[in-house]
Amino acid sequence: MIEMFVAAITQDGQTHTPIVILHDATRRRALPIWIGLPEAKAILLALDAHKLARPMTHDLMLNMIVQMGYRVQKVEINELSKDTYFATIFLQLADRAGLDLTKSIDSRPSDAIALALRAKAPIYVSAQVVADGTHAIDSEKDEREAQEFKDFLSNVNASDFKS
């Protein structure tokens, strides 16, 4: 799993559908996920740490989770199938006997992200989703590093690896 961060909410130029953009820690890969307008608003409110007078749906979800004694441990965007992303929210309950009780809940990525931002929980993306769904942000640097690696390999001899 690769930890990613919400970089921005943008809009599809043709359909005007909101898109949440996740970046990896190096800001070299971007994962765009098309989401609904209410979820985009919920994510934007969380990014701005804006508190409304009354709880919105994701605030209510977090309040319920906390009141039941759980915490949002992490969220994972773990599958991409037929242009649809799948996510899991992991809730953790510390048992009095010292047992770590974790529950996993199926979720849309947009809801998982909105909840994770409110709970200050990490957002992880599976390596397969990163491979299938992300786009290079700095392709020049990627090409340069690939060329440097090829140059390195062309100068390596088997004798360089003697013990």
The pLDDT assigned to 143 comes to 65
Each residue of 28-84: pLDDT tens digit? 899 999 999 999 999 999 999 888 899 999 999 999 999 999 999 999 999 999 989
Each residue of 121-145: pLDDT tens digit? 999 999 999 988 888 876 566 566 5
The pLDDT assigned to 134 comes to 85
Q: What is the mean pLDDT of residues 2-29?
A: 93
Going from N- to C-terminal start, the domains of the chain cover 2-156
The pLDDT assigned to 23 comes to 94
Under 8 Å between Cβ of 91 and 112: no
Assign domain 2-156 one CATH number from 3.10.690.10, 3.40.50.2000, 3.40.50.10420, 3.40.50.1980: 3.10.690.10
Beta-bridge mates of residue 72: 91
Each residue of 90-126: pLDDT tens digit? 999 866 666 778 999 999 999 999 999 999 999 999 9
112, with CB counted inside 10 A (0-12, 13-18, 19+), is: buried
What's the whole-model pTM score? 0.82
